[in-house]
Structure 1
Amino acid sequence: MKPTLFSSWQKLSTRIVGLLLSFLAVALLVIGSTLLLSWQLEGSAAAINVAGSLRMESYKLAMLAGRLSDGSERGEAVAGVRAQIQRIDGTLALLQQGDPQRPLFLPPTSAIRDVYGDVQREWRVELVPQVEKLLTPEASASTPVSASYAVQQLVERFVFGVDHLVQRIERDSERRTFWLRASQLTLLGLALVGTVSIIYLLFDMVVVPVTRLQGGLERMREQDFSVRLPVNSNDEFGMLARGYNQMADKLQDSYANLEQRVQTKTGELEQQNRELALLYDSSAFLQQPQSAEAMCHGFLERISEYFGADGGSVRVLDPNRNNIHMLVHRGISAELVESERCLKVGDCLCGEAVVSKLAVIHDLRRNPNNHNLKCNREGFSTISIFHIFAQRQYLGFFNLHFRKTTVFTTAQTALLETLGQLLGTAIENQRLQVRERELAISEERNLVAQGLHDSIAQGLNFLNLQVQMLEQSLKQQRIDEVESIVPMLRAGVDESYQDVRELLHNFRTRLQEGTLVSSLETVVDKFRRQSGIAVDFDANGDGAPFPREHQLQLLFIVQEALSNVRKHASASQVWIRLADEQDFTLSIKDNGHGFDVQKLQTLGDAHVGINIMRERAQRIEAQLELKSQPGEGTEVVLHLPRAQRRAA
């Protein structure tokens, strides 16, 4: 909508600018008229001077005309008369044309122009022709006295006309001087009136509204919100007054309802604190190591107590059979538990909710089939169903049963959905932990099987062959062969017995309190006692501690390497070097007979001990290197770069 002229004039800025422009226009008009009158008075004064000079020039012309009768001076007199006529003509022309630069001009009135016309006509028609007659050659012989007297009479008449013109100009100047004084007085009065008017108008339009607004603000600062400002205009101060009144209304309403609002906000904060406390308590409880039933039971107790539920249950989904199993329950009868212990997806209200996977709150009183629902027969009026998710995977749902009709707010629904996600994450973590334990047990069983195959199985196979040879020797009554086989059987049994003891020791190995170095020292001391082989153990560095699982794998690798030294190397000295800096390096070296590494690689998985060490090294992302030459001993080097190293 375009603003109209009236609405624009209502603006304070427009009115102030218009007022100042009006005073400026009047002042410029008066000043302009004063300047014009001053300029005209200067021109009239110059015209009076020039017109006054005509009288002297006219008398001089009469004197020169009188000298024409003197024959001896006639030539000089004629020249003087002609020059004088030209000067008077020039003066009359100057008065007629004017000179704006001096300034010089006749006042532009008809009376003065008429008088000037009479003077000019007197000069050109009567005086100049009469003087021209005296200048003719015919009059040169003798100039009568009457002719000179006639020129003097005409000069007197011309001078009289000039005097009349000067008087007219003087009277006009007097009148213009009066108007000049009047305009000056008007300008002075305008300045006084304008200043007073501007002060009054600015006081009325600016100072008074500002003072009124300041007074209102002072009273508002003193918490007096009843004051209101009058709205007397539609300008900016009127808008300010209306805005002030609206602000005062809102502040008065705010202060009047402040206590109630504080109570409301306090209640909201308390409710949020209770929600946060419930979330924190539930999260801390769900992270504790416990069974799924105990975890769900504690979870159900907490939310039932928080929401005042009379009963509830937690149900998990069997996706393979589309069954919903009740895991825990609270506050519901044994009959209801037995009837709904296992539901199909889509059955009853709970089964239908599984299909949609959306939170549902059922008001059983509004259900047309409520008489067929077991929950209604139990006395429950409201049944709520909230689902359990873990990383977008649907796991089940939990119920809250209320005997009174209950309505959940949006915040409560969001809280229960969040709790469902927490419970789902906890259940999924438990399942992952079980799977991880199963995987670890499977891997350990694989290592046990490899250890048995590498030690006891080979020993038993050797004993089996010796027993077969013993049986054949007994059948053939070869006593000498029997005597040679029996020691071999005893040696094989002893070797198998030592292998069993060593395997049992390795399987029962646990990290004691202390560092990796202290645990390795314990293993080395036991190896010295059991094998009688000298061991030089040197550990340097102060790197970050390993996780306990990694330390256990390192111990197993050292034990397997020492076991291989005892069984296969026929060594008398072992050197163990540990460099624990940013990179970790562990070396086990012996002075045994050694072997061909390339030939060992052709055996593949036949040498189980080496493969077990490699598998354990891969678990901690380490690199295992085997160095050996026939007759030069064997060295096992385990290296863990800083990029793959993890601290406890």
Structure 2
Amino acid sequence: MSDLSLHSALHSPLPATPLRYRLSTRIVMLSGVALALFLSMIVGTLWLSWQLEGAGAAINDAGSLRMRAGNVAIQLAEARAGRPANVASQSALLDSTLARLKHGDPVRPLFLPETPAIRAQFDVVSATWHDALKPAITQDASEPSSYLARLPAFVTQADALVRLVEHENARKTAWLRRSQLALAALACLGTVAIVYLLYAWFVLPVRRLERGLSRIEQREFTARLQVESRDEFGHLAQGFNRMAGELQSLYRDLAGRVAHKTAQLSARNGELLALYEMTAFLHGAHDVEVLCRGFIERVMRQFNADAGTVRTLAQDDDNLHMVVSVGLPEHMLNDERCMPARDCVCGAVATSGVAVIKDLRAGRASPGKNAADCGNAGFSAVTAFGIVSHQIALGSFSLHFREARVMLPSETRLLETLGRHLGNALQNHRLAAAARQLAVAQERHLVAQGLHDSIAQSLNFLKMQLYLLDGAAERDDMKEIREIVPLLRGGLEESYEDVRELLVNFRTKFGSGSLRDAIEETAARFERQTDTPLALDFEEAGGMPLPSDQQLQVLFILQEALSNIRKHASASHVRVTIRNAQDFHLAVQDDGDGYDPADIASRGEAHVGFHIMRERAARLGAQLRLESEPGNGARVHLLLPAGKRQAA
């Protein structure tokens, strides 16, 4: 079974679960029933509590009826004694209390229980007050004992009302306790029921799934789950059974698939190892022939080829030149050492960059001298791949097989990649050679400029003196001869010093970090040559050492500046200041004759020393400033900014 069929089987959607069987529906219904029960019980207890609170307030007001009736009797006694009394206000308070008991007050709350006995007793109390006691208040003046005689009957009726309300409250309190006990019991039973249902709905199915997965982990692919419900877990069980069936079917041919994948992985590892070894070899320091021979020998071993060649396109013509060959017959080497690119398979690959794989067996080789030669030499197949670097065709390499050989796409990709690596190595070799030639040409140019600025001028001076000496000798003018000979001796000595200085300058080589030693040696040599004191101030201000090539350019600029001072300045003191901070500063100052910058500028490049210093500063990426006035000395200042410094 393929990976695609397994993937489709495992990921095919299960049929949707009907709404009434879903676990979410069960949970919602269970939660709704539990919520309704609990809310009803809570509402009942709240209603009983509210009733008890209102009845308690009614008991207080019913009990206050006796007190207020007694207060009325007291006020009547005060009135009869001639003292101030307020019978009307006490009577009004009793009326308002009866009204509250009759109509109730939901805000407090206050109300009498709605039972027939309590309502009947309240009517008796109200009638006793309105029909007996209240009329006796107005009769108290004529019948002083009338109110007091009727008061005990009212108090008795009020006490009976209070007892009835208290009895009703006691009954409701008992109901409240029973409802609270029922609520607690319901909570316990509901919790047990919910835990049981959740266990039955979730825990048991999950445990069945865990047991099934454990059996699958033990490679028991015959494991199946019993579908016991139509909810989501039932659908999961169905999906698990489908997965187990697919895995059981897949595992039957798993060993073959693993062996196939292992072979593929081994081949990939071999390709990566070959690519790594080839890359390591191509990055070594080899000449072109060793590079190409090592390349083709490694490729032949990797692909079990019987022969191989590496050819490069000539840069000045359209010919394909064989650089190395391994395993080709001698007559083929003589015929194919150099041939037009269009006459062979390798040439076509070299110019187009498209790989070619040829079967040279009878009747299948394409016409052409090269294909015929390979077939006549006993080869059955030949493959050719381009040597390319950055879309530039450099040549081709070929592999020859005596037995029929089929190139797999992965092998073709590997050979094309190896061709690009060889192309990059050859191109880097060419670029390195060109860079070396350019460096040699630049140094030769600087040497020529130095010779022109020093020795050529001295030799020209000596030539003129020799011409004058020849004329004086013809005239037999000994006086003039004696004047010319010291000039010739001085010119020869100066030329000798110039040659020595040039040899020392252009032989200067040093490693990173030895700039101070080289500058001190240059300063000491200047003092020996000129007997002019030189003050050197070298300050290390936290800057990193310059790399050797930049140090060499700085030293050449210093040597050229000191050479100009020795030849032209006639200075008494020279000061060299170097400060290596984030920026690198070099300053050379003398108190000699100086020069006119306008005159130097008008001469252009005739003053070769200044031109050499400017070229070296430009090569560094530094800024060079030349300052002078006639009679006030000269100053050379070199600034290498931090952005132009290279890592040492």
User: TM bucket by the smaller chain?
Assistant: 0.5 to 0.7
Equivalent in the alignment of 1:639: 639
Question: CA shift at 1:250, angstroms?
Answer: 3.3
Q: What is the alpha-carbon root mean square deviation over aligned residues?
A: 3.6
Question: CA shift at 1:249, angstroms?
Answer: 2.8
Matched residue SS, 1:279: helix
Equivalent in the alignment of 1:164: none
Matched residue SS, 1:471: helix
Letter in 2 for 1:463: L
Q: For residues 612 and 374 of structure 2, what CA distance do their matches in structure 1 show?
A: 59
Tell me, yes or no, if the aligned pair for 1:346 and 1:353 is still in contact at 8 Å: no
| Aligned CA distance change for structure 1 residues 586 and 15 (closer, same or farther; 3 Å) | closer
Q: For residues 282 and 366 of structure 1, what CA distance do their matches in structure 2 show?
A: 35
Equivalent in the alignment of 1:13: 19
Equivalent in the alignment of 2:283: 287
Q: Which moved more, 1:258-267 or 1:505-514?
A: 258-267
Question: CA shift at 1:241, angstroms?
Answer: 4.7
2:318 matches 1:322: yes
Q: For residues 488 and 225 of structure 1, what CA distance do their matches in structure 2 show?
A: 111
Matched residue SS, 1:346: helix
CA deviations over 1:419-464 (Å, ceiling 9, x no partner): 1111111111111111111111221121111111111111111111
Q: Which moved more, 1:223-232 or 1:443-452?
A: 223-232
Tell me, yes or no, if the aligned pair for 1:213 and 1:241 is still in contact at 8 Å: yes
Equivalent in the alignment of 1:313: 309
Equivalent in the alignment of 1:579: 579
Tell me, yes or no, if the aligned pair for 1:346 and 1:354 is still in contact at 8 Å: no
Q: For residues 627 and 621 of structure 2, what CA distance do their matches in structure 1 show?
A: 20
| Aligned CA distance change for structure 1 residues 213 and 544 (closer, same or farther; 3 Å) | closer
2:463 matches 1:464: yes
Equivalent in the alignment of 1:343: 339
Question: CA shift at 1:259, angstroms?
Answer: 4.6
Q: For residues 374 and 361 of structure 2, what CA distance do their matches in structure 1 show?
A: 11
Q: For residues 330 and 347 of structure 1, what CA distance do their matches in structure 2 show?
A: 21
Tell me, yes or no, if the aligned pair for 2:205 and 2:233 is still in contact at 8 Å: yes
2:597 matches 1:597: yes
Q: For residues 499 and 240 of structure 2, what CA distance do their matches in structure 1 show?
A: 96
CA deviations over 1:385-404 (Å, ceiling 9, x no partner): 11111111111111111222
2:435 matches 1:436: yes
**Aligned counterparts, 1:508-587, within 5 A:** 508-511=507-510, 514-541=513-540, 542-587=542-587
Letter in 2 for 1:550: Q
TM (norm. structure 2) is 0.66
| Percent identity of equivalent pairs | 45
2:431 matches 1:425: no
| Aligned CA distance change for structure 1 residues 609 and 212 (closer, same or farther; 3 Å) | closer
| Aligned CA distance change for structure 1 residues 230 and 573 (closer, same or farther; 3 Å) | same
Equivalent in the alignment of 1:180: none
Letter in 2 for 1:493: L
Tell me, yes or no, if the aligned pair for 1:10 and 1:235 is still in contact at 8 Å: no
Equivalent in the alignment of 2:84: none
TM (norm. structure 1) is 0.66
Question: CA shift at 1:521, angstroms?
Answer: 1.4
Question: CA shift at 1:237, angstroms?
Answer: 6.6
Question: CA shift at 1:263, angstroms?
Answer: 4.1
| Aligned CA distance change for structure 1 residues 257 and 634 (closer, same or farther; 3 Å) | same
| Aligned CA distance change for structure 1 residues 636 and 213 (closer, same or farther; 3 Å) | closer
Equivalent in the alignment of 2:356: 360
| Aligned CA distance change for structure 1 residues 540 and 248 (closer, same or farther; 3 Å) | same
Q: Which moved more, 1:351-360 or 1:399-408?
A: 351-360
Equivalent in the alignment of 1:401: 400
| Aligned CA distance change for structure 1 residues 498 and 221 (closer, same or farther; 3 Å) | closer
| Aligned CA distance change for structure 1 residues 531 and 225 (closer, same or farther; 3 Å) | same
CA deviations over 1:541-581 (Å, ceiling 9, x no partner): 24112222111111111111111111111123221110000
Q: For residues 485 and 590 of structure 1, what CA distance do their matches in structure 2 show?
A: 32
Q: For residues 567 and 15 of structure 2, what CA distance do their matches in structure 1 show?
A: 113
Letter in 2 for 1:336: M
| Aligned CA distance change for structure 1 residues 577 and 222 (closer, same or farther; 3 Å) | same
Matched residues, number: 469
| Structure 2: segments with no counterpart, 5+ residues | 1-13, 30-197
Tell me, yes or no, if the aligned pair for 1:304 and 1:312 is still in contact at 8 Å: yes
**Could you say which structure has the larger radius of gyration?**
1
Letter in 1 for 2:246: K
Q: For residues 571 and 250 of structure 2, what CA distance do their matches in structure 1 show?
A: 93
Q: For residues 16 and 289 of structure 2, what CA distance do their matches in structure 1 show?
A: 79
| Aligned CA distance change for structure 1 residues 630 and 268 (closer, same or farther; 3 Å) | same
Q: For residues 529 and 258 of structure 1, what CA distance do their matches in structure 2 show?
A: 89
Question: CA shift at 1:229, angstroms?
Answer: 5.0
| Aligned CA distance change for structure 1 residues 529 and 244 (closer, same or farther; 3 Å) | same
| Aligned CA distance change for structure 1 residues 258 and 539 (closer, same or farther; 3 Å) | farther
Q: For residues 215 and 506 of structure 2, what CA distance do their matches in structure 1 show?
A: 88
Matched residue SS, 1:643: helix
CA deviations over 1:579-636 (Å, ceiling 9, x no partner): 0000010011122122222222211111111111111111001111112222222211
CA deviations over 1:262-301 (Å, ceiling 9, x no partner): 4444443333333222222222221222211111111111
Q: For residues 22 and 459 of structure 2, what CA distance do their matches in structure 1 show?
A: 118
Equivalent in the alignment of 1:496: 495
Q: For residues 251 and 475 of structure 1, what CA distance do their matches in structure 2 show?
A: 119
Q: 1:246 aligns with which of 242, 245, 248?
A: 242
Equivalent in the alignment of 2:374: 375
Equivalent in the alignment of 1:298: 294
Q: 2:219 aligns with which of 220, 223, 228?
A: 223
Letter in 2 for 1:325: H
Q: For residues 16 and 610 of structure 2, what CA distance do their matches in structure 1 show?
A: 101
Q: For residues 441 and 203 of structure 1, what CA distance do their matches in structure 2 show?
A: 89
Q: Which moved more, 1:292-301 or 1:475-484?
A: 475-484
Q: Which moved more, 1:505-514 or 1:327-336?
A: 505-514
| Aligned CA distance change for structure 1 residues 9 and 493 (closer, same or farther; 3 Å) | closer
Tell me, yes or no, if the aligned pair for 2:512 and 2:547 is still in contact at 8 Å: no
Matched residue SS, 1:379: coil
Matched residue SS, 1:324: strand
Letter in 1 for 2:576: I
Q: For residues 207 and 549 of structure 1, what CA distance do their matches in structure 2 show?
A: 78
| Aligned CA distance change for structure 1 residues 415 and 468 (closer, same or farther; 3 Å) | same
Letter in 2 for 1:332: L
CA deviations over 1:12-35 (Å, ceiling 9, x no partner): 435679x99xx9xxxxxxxxxxxx
Equivalent in the alignment of 2:617: 617
Tell me, yes or no, if the aligned pair for 1:383 and 1:400 is still in contact at 8 Å: yes
Q: Which moved more, 1:304-313 or 1:615-624?
A: 304-313
Q: For residues 360 and 297 of structure 2, what CA distance do their matches in structure 1 show?
A: 23
Q: For residues 304 and 234 of structure 1, what CA distance do their matches in structure 2 show?
A: 66
Equivalent in the alignment of 2:272: 276
